[in-house]
Amino acid sequence: MEVKKAWWKEAVVYQIYPRSFCDSNGDGIGDLNGITGKLEYLADLGIDVIWLSPVYKSPNVDNGYDIADYEAIMDEFGTMEDFDRMLEKAHSLGIKIMMDLVVNHTSDQHRWFLEAKKGPDNPYRDYYIWKKPVEGKKYPNNWGASFGAGSVWEWDEASGMFYLHLFAKQMPDLNWANPKVHDEVFGMMTRWLEKGVDGFRMDVINLIAKDPAFPDGAAGSHEFSDFYPVVTNHPNVHVYLQEMYDRVLSHYDTITVGETSNTSTEVAKIYTSETERELNMVFQFDHMGVDNGPHGRWSDRRMDLRDLKKVMSRWQDDLYGQGWNSLYWNNHDQPRVVSRFGNDSDEFREVSAKMLATCLHFMQGTPYIYQGEELGMTNVAFSIDQYEDIDTRDTYYQYVTVEGMPHEEMMRYIHRRSRDNARTPMQWTAGENAGFTTGTPWFLLNPNYTKINAAAQVDDPDSVFAYYKRLIRLRKENPVMVYGKYELLLPEDKDLYVYTRTDEETQLYVVCSFAEKDVQLEIPEEFAGAEVLIANYPEPALDGCVRPYEAFVLKRKL
Ligand code: NOJ
């Protein structure tokens, strides 16, 4: 099967969480000028695109994912002139900028919502979703909001109605059944594209279309039901995205990725097929659930590698030639992968970080690197009052204070899975505050910055940073890494993730050990004497004894 070529398939994306990236003015909060100052670092790494988490005006209930003005910059991050300078410099270095598009909801401080709250006759009222109380029911339906925030329905005393918020109550959902919302959003997107941005990462985009019946979800062990299975991927999402494509995206050469939890490969093929004209790729979540437990993602379980292989391979196989994958281990909502799927001990951190990078970057799809991943940054273990994330704090309150889970148990889950693991400031140097700020950082640093930091790695040819750099370069030199067909070998092996990538001319043999011990492997004969493309030990284990967290890739001509 022929896989269509596209620049965004060949690109590597780097995600910046601006609040925690680099502070240029000493207020303790990362900002746009801080990013501009680090663009050479990113150009050296070799990435093609930056995904910028929200930089818009926001009261920061959810660190910028609650937007009060889509066309103004958050005060702490700088000005629109700073943004323009960043964009221009990024472009001059050959780096594109992908904006975060958060249009399932706004902040309750957005002008539209302030207007809508004035009453049922306000012209902005139908920009949001309002419901009258239903007799005999406490709320219009049983959906529970994300972040352990109780019902998704918030009572508005003035009008005697509820409004819908799938996330925090300060984040009311937009009403996509109203065509005026489309006009507003599409106009805003067009103005950003006219300014020169290169695409969008679309926040929870598969939640925007609600079933007009707002049906109850299945009852579970908690008071409220999980809304995701009921709300995700309503057929109207495809209608809205195609309209967005026709009216906006088709007029520009963009990169787009939709955040789509709870989505099968069948549905992902619709979102990402080249004929359906919706999105370039989606962020699927199946592999982020392999270590879930009885309380979902609030778990301290370690995954079984066979589950990870099954999930990744399903996405590789099902989308081949029919859609396009994004590849990610990390983002601002996920714990650090080296702590999660690797081993963050002094002995194995570097080698397991490189192994995980190998495993991901040789698959088919567009790889995403989250800030600090290229240094092998790790999880943290703070005390509960030191966490900043609304999700961590509110879920702790719901589980421990309301439902009585023991504090120690919840803290084990938080240490493993909290989003704040990803949000500690970027570790630039071994100096004060890791070189992130000259002021007081808005959030605690991971104390290991004295050892793990960019300054120690950029010039070290054996560093995790140098390894990521090599992976990115290899991708540019080996089209088989982008377009070759994936095949999983040894699906039942508990320790090794082994697969091939094959095109007409070349075959790659990728070996990644997730074990802390030596593991035997029979390397196929046809790879005897093959070129070693990359390896995370000085001499790869071509004798068949794979060492702890070892990874190597062999290449042969067909
Ligand atoms: C997904 C984002 O990645 C997350 O950080 C945010 O809290 C929710 N969407 C709500 O916008």
**Residue whose CA is closest, atom 10 of ligand 1?**
65
Question: Residue 38 — φ and ψ, nearest 5°?
Answer: -110, 10
Instruction: Quote the pLDDT of residue 222.
Output: 74
Tell me the residue type at 277.
Answer: R
Query: Which residues form the pocket of ligand 1, taking CB atoms under 6 Å from any ligand atom?
Result: 62, 65, 102, 167, 203-204, 259, 332-333
The whole domain housing 508 covers 482-557
**pLDDT (0 to 100) of residue 542:** 84
What would the two tokens of residue 219 be? 């009852």
Catalytic residues, by residue number, are: 203, 259
Q: Are residues 273 and 422 in the same domain?
A: yes
Query: Are β-strands 13-16 and 366-370 bridged in parallel, bridged antiparallel, or unpaired?
Result: parallel
**505 and 442 within one domain:** no
Q: Can you tell me the distance from the alpha carbon of 1 to that of 251, in angstroms, rounded to the nearest whole number?
A: 29
Task: Say whether both 24 and 85 belong to one domain.
Answer: yes
Sign of the torsion angle spanned by Cα atoms 99, 104, 106, 111: positive
Q: Specify the pLDDT at position 173.
A: 98
CA dist., res. 522 & res. 347, Å (int): 26
| Beta carbons of 255 and 198 less than 8 angstroms apart | yes
Question: Which amino acid is it at 58?
Answer: S
Q: Do residues 311 and 183 share a domain? A: yes
Query: Does residue 144 form part of some domain?
Result: no
Rounded to the nearest angstrom, the distance between the alpha carbon of 203 and the centre of ligand 1 is 6
What's the token pair of residue 4?
């269509």
**For residue 333, is it within any domain?**
yes
What DSSP character marks residue 57? E
Measured in residues, the chain has a length of 558
332 and 432 together in one domain:
yes
Q: Is residue 52 part of a domain?
A: yes
| 219 within domain boundaries | no
pLDDT given at position 219:
83
* Residue where one domain finishes, among candidates 469, 504, 539: 469
Q: Choose the residue to mutate in 17, 62, 417 for probing ligand 1, maximizing ligand atoms within 8 Å of C-beta.
A: 62
CA distance 343 to 216: 42
The count of structural domains within the chain is 2
What residues contact residue 249 under an 8 Å CB cut-off, 6+ apart? 189, 256
Answer whether residue 343 is part of any domain.
yes
| Residue 54 sits in the same domain as residue 32 | yes
**CATH number for position 81:** 3.20.20.80
User: Model's pTM, two decimal places?
Assistant: 0.98
Task: List per-residue pLDDT tens for the chain, 558 residues long.
Answer: 778 999 999 999 999 999 999 999 999 999 999 999 999 999 999 999 999 999 999 999 999 999 999 999 999 999 999 999 999 999 999 999 999 999 999 999 999 999 999 999 999 999 999 999 999 999 999 999 998 778 999 999 999 999 999 999 999 999 999 999 999 999 999 999 999 999 999 999 999 999 999 999 998 767 899 999 999 999 999 999 999 999 999 999 999 999 999 999 999 999 999 887 999 999 999 999 999 999 999 999 999 999 999 999 999 999 999 999 999 999 999 999 999 999 999 999 999 999 999 999 999 999 999 999 999 999 999 999 999 999 999 999 999 999 999 999 999 999 999 999 999 999 999 999 999 999 999 999 999 999 999 999 999 999 999 999 999 999 999 999 999 999 999 999 999 999 999 999 999 999 999 999 999 999 999 999 999 999 999 989 888 899 999 999 999 999
Cα-Cα-Cα-Cα dihedral sign, residues 482, 194, 174, 334: positive
State phi, psi for 480 to the nearest 5 degrees. -65, -25
Kindly state whether residue 172 falls inside one of the protein's structural domains: no
Q: How far is the CA of 62 from the centre of ligand 1 (A)?
A: 8
d(CA 188, CA 110): 14
Q: Does residue 113 lie within any of the structural domains?
A: no
261 inside domain:
yes
How far apart are alpha carbons 378 and 336 in whole angstroms? 5
Instruction: Please tell me the residue having the least CA distance from ligand 1 atom 11.
Output: 65
The residue out of 469, 500, 519 marking a domain boundary is 469
Query: Which residue out of 333, 393, 418, 421 has the highest number of ligand 1 atoms within 8 Å of its CB and is therefore the one to mutate?
Result: 333
